[in-house]
Amino acid sequence: MIRLHHVYKNYGGGTDALIDITFSVARGEFIFLTGPSGAGKTTLLKLLYLAEHPTKGQVFINGVNVSTIRERKIPYLRRAVGVVFQDFKLLNSVTVSENIAFPLEVMGMPRRDINKQVMRVLKFVGLQDKYDAKPLELSGGEQQRVAIARAVANEPPILIADEPTGNLDSELTMDIIRLMNYIHKRGATVIMATHNKDIVERFHKRLISLGRGRIVG
Amino acid sequence: MFFVRVSYYIRKALSNLRAYPLVTGLATATVAFCVFIFCAYLLFLINVTGLLTGVGKTVHLAVYLSDDIDEKQIEEVKDAIISIKEVSEVTFTSKEEALAFLKESFGEQTGVLEGIEDNPLPASFEVALVEGGQTPENTKLVADKIGRMKGVDDVVYPREWLTRFNEFVRFVRAAGVAVGLILSLAAVAVIANTFKLIILSRRQEIEIMKLVGATNSLIKMPVLIEGMLVGLFGSAAALLGLVFLFSYFMDHFYETVSLFVGPVVPAFFSPVMIAAVIGASTLLGIVGSLLSFGRLLKV
Ligand SMILES: Nc1ncnc2c1ncn2[C@@H]1O[C@H](COP(=O)(O)OP(=O)(O)O)[C@@H](O)[C@H]1O
Ligand SMILES: [Mg+2]
């Protein structure tokens, strides 16, 4: 489903953010991507949702080599990858429902179906009564769940989450992990970056550890 | 699918207008301001040019006939003059009419003319030229042609005045076009910048839409519609303002001004012109909003 082959990423500075990364992820796997801050987790995930391109090496998603893909096709590949961004990337000027509707509108879903699906995922993350709130009126944990709801709204086969428990207390963290687990059970391939050792130890999942841009375990 | 898309574009454009009222309001006001200035100038130019054309039309050639030609010959000369293609109208004044006119203009002082036995005034044609044919070169050409005709004594027209007047008209036209060009370039630049502002206010939204898999056209179309609406409403507001200003001018100042410029009535834009202004502004809105994306869609 996902395969990286000797991937390097350099942002233009002296040191590489990613060095010789090779691994593959099968359909339906749940993977923790760990490593200290600055190890290259976000960079690696960005390669997977095509926000960055590898300096060297190849990235395959659904069998498609993303470095040779036609620019016109990129949006369609992105629709197969739901992303929970480290900084949420919610649009604060519109409501929660409108935020969650984005990926559905992008697919060309009719308005009525969009409304139904938005309510369904809001219920799924337990925010059905916040549909009309603006993101800034919500707590951090609630915003995080909105971000997750948006990422899974169009039921993508791949879910990428960049430190989705970043600054939540342990109880909310468990809620989020349970949610991710549930999404995984429903068939999605999940890759979740975290630097939280407790989570990694508590849930026994496949682990990819990064250190200074290299895979260290 | 097509209708889902189109309805999405329109809904999105309208919700954008609502979500960013300040920026779109500012953009509309800017477009309105620029179009207003430009149109006010255009209206001024059109009326000044119209005024000058009116003045130019008053140029006539006076063709004096020799005393020894008969009526049949007069007819022949008239036909020959009319057949010149730059000539639009020929009016005949007989010797008697000329004298009567002279007497009438002197009025009371007819004593001046008492001593005259013979009528010394020649019969004449007053020759008007077609519109746009009143250039000095043209007029001289026509004058020379008529001057060579049998039975024509003399052709008189305001040669010096015509030359100067034409230079003046040409200057007004050139200056008008130059200033208009500068104005429209400035307007386009200002409007382009406001559209840049619209796009920049959407930067975050555009980034998110790209990341959740929006195609470029999906992002562009609603903004294009917004640009279109901004151009449409901006220019409509500008024209509305101009109509008010124009009628205010006509009500309060025209009488004073008309003392200087004569009885030429200023005209507002024709419906075609109004449609053209609104159309151009709308098009500018579309093109401006599209161009403002620049490199922003590269993610
Ligand atoms: N856009 C960028 N431009 C330049 N350097 C970057 C950029 N993003 C990340 N880096 C650098 O790449 C390295 C890895 O960063 P990142 O992938 O964000 O790590 P992590 O997510 O594990 O904390 C860091 O040294 C960081 O400074
Ligand atoms: Mg990170």
Q: Residues with Cβ < 8 Å from A130, sequence gap 6 or more?
A: A96, A122, A138, A142, A146
User: How close B21 gets to chain A, by Cα (Å)?
Assistant: 11
Q: Is residue B263's pLDDT more than 70? A: no
With beta carbons less than 8 A apart as the criterion, state whether A123 and A101 touch. no
Mean pLDDT score across all residues of chain A: 92
**With a CB-CB cutoff of 8 Å, which residues 208-237 of chain B face chain A?**
208-215, 218
Mean pLDDT score across all residues of chain B: 84
Q: Residues with Cβ < 8 Å from B231, sequence gap 6 or more?
A: B31, B281, B282, B283, B284, B285, B286, B288
Q: What is the pLDDT of residues A162-175, one digit of tens each?
A: 999 877 888 888 88
**Quick check: helix, strand or coil at residue A167?**
coil
Q: Kindly provide the b/e burial profile for residues B162-180, where b requires at least 16 CB atoms within 10 angstroms of the residue's own CB.
A: beebbeebeeeeeebeeee
- ipTM of this predicted structure: 0.89
- What is the distance between the alpha carbons of residues A34 and A44, in angstroms, rounded to a whole number? 11
Q: What is the pLDDT of residues B137-190, one digit of tens each?
A: 888 888 888 888 888 888 888 878 888 888 888 888 898 889 888 988 888 888
- What is the distance between the alpha carbons of residues A35 and A208, in angstroms, rounded to a whole number? 9
- Tell me the CA–centroid distance for residue A18 and ligand 1, in Å: 9
Question: Is the Cβ atom of A182 under 6 angstroms away from ligand 1?
Answer: no
Tokens 């923790």 label which residue?
Answer: A32
A91 touches chain B (CB under 8 A): yes
With beta carbons less than 8 A apart as the criterion, state whether A47 and A59 touch. yes
pLDDT band with cut points at 50, 70 and 90 for residue B109: low
Q: Is residue A104's pLDDT more than 90? A: yes
Q: Summarize the confidence of residues B269-297 as an average pLDDT.
A: 88
With beta carbons less than 8 A apart as the criterion, state whether A145 and A179 touch. yes
DSSP string, B201-253: HTHHHHHHHHHTT--HHHHHHHHHHHHHHHHHHHHHHHHHHHHHHHHHHHHHT
- What is the distance between the alpha carbons of residues B298 and A174, in angstroms, rounded to a whole number? 37
Question: Residues of chain B with pLDDT > 90: what percent?
Answer: 16
With beta carbons less than 8 A apart as the criterion, state whether A29 and A206 touch. yes
User: How close B17 gets to chain A, by Cα (Å)?
Assistant: 12
User: CATH assignment of B60-157, given 3.30.70.3040, 1.10.1060.10, 3.90.550.10, 3.20.20.140?
Assistant: 3.30.70.3040
Q: Supply the pLDDT for residue B118.
A: 75
Q: Supply the pLDDT for residue A3.
A: 95
Best residue for ligand 1 mutational test, from A18, A19, A41, A42 (most atoms within 8 Å of Cβ): A42
In angstroms, how far is the first alpha carbon of chain B from the final one?
Answer: 26
Q: Supply the pLDDT for residue A176.
A: 87
Q: Supply the pLDDT for residue A99.
A: 94
Residues of A in contact with B212 (CB under 8 A): 78-79, 83, 102-103, 106, 150
Q: Supply the pLDDT for residue B196.
A: 85
According to DSSP H, which parts of chain B are helical?
A: 2-19, 21-57, 71-82, 95-106, 111-114, 136-147, 159-201, 203-211, 216-252, 254-261, 271-292
Q: Residues with Cβ < 8 Å from B80, sequence gap 6 or more?
A: B149
Domain with CATH 3.30.70.3040 in chain B: 60-157
With beta carbons less than 8 A apart as the criterion, state whether A161 and A31 touch. no
The predicted model scores a pTM of: 0.74
